[in-house]
Amino acid sequence: MRVNVTVNGESRRADNVWEGESLLYVLRERLGLPGSKNACEQGECGSCTVDLDGVPACACLVAAGQAEGREVVTVEGLADGEALDPVQEAFVDRGAVQCGFCTPGLLVAAHDLIERVPDPSDVEIREALAGNLCRCTGYEKILDAVRDAAARKAVR
């Protein structure tokens, strides 16, 4: 089948998509956007989190066909050209990135949180990111980064 989807503001088309391919597979293997990660492909780790019509979703659980005609923002779409989004800057500056495999999903989820709740409390941050596993950092620096990102957004 053919799938048409707007990804990071650009309309894209994927041909010869199999029934059963996920949006994650289409993004990574057909559209050349490997930023969203494939850690569990079971909807458990959040590494593949993308923004689907304004709502964070696990791309591994979305069938490619379900994405037809919808708008997707991936980690590749967060930066504005060379300029990183404040969430991206904060993750780098606060040492919230180690192996970085969880990072794209966390960035999309954190970005969404701050859009909705500009000044989140720690409990709110923890709740919003509870679906994103990170095996490396122990989360402390991720919390720092999200607090910092919120502060950076507030000044901009």
Q: Which is nearer to another protein, 24 or 67 (CB)?
A: 24
Chain-centroid distance, C-alpha 11: 19
Q: What number of residues does the chain have? A: 156
Q: Between 106 and 125, how does the x/- string for binding to another protein read (CB under 8 A)?
A: -x---------------x-x
154 binds another protein (CB under 8 A): no
Q: In what order do the strands lie in the sheet with 55-58?
A: 10-14, 3-7, 71-73, 49-52, 55-58
Look at residue 10 and give the partner it binds from another protein, ligand FES, none, a contact being a CB closer than 5 to 8 Å depending on partner kind: none
What does the block give as tokens for 9? 């503001």
The least CB distance from residue 137 to another protein, in Å, is 5
Q: What is the residue-wise DSSP string for 5-69? A: EEETTEEEEE-SPPTT-BHHHIIIIISS-TTS--S-SSSSS-TTEEEETTEEEEGGGSBGGGGTT
Residues touching ligand FES: how many (CB under 6 A)? Answer: 21
Query: Any contact of residue 58 with ligand FES (CB under 6 A)?
Result: yes
Tell me if 101 contacts ligand FES by CB under 6 A. yes
Residue (of 78, 142, 147) closest to 108 by Cα position: 78
Residue number, 17 or 69, with CB nearest to another protein: 17
Binding residues (CB under 8 A) for another protein: these are 18, 20-21, 28-29, 32-42, 44-45, 47, 74-76, 79, 84, 88-89, 91-93, 95, 97-104, 107, 123, 125-127, 129-143
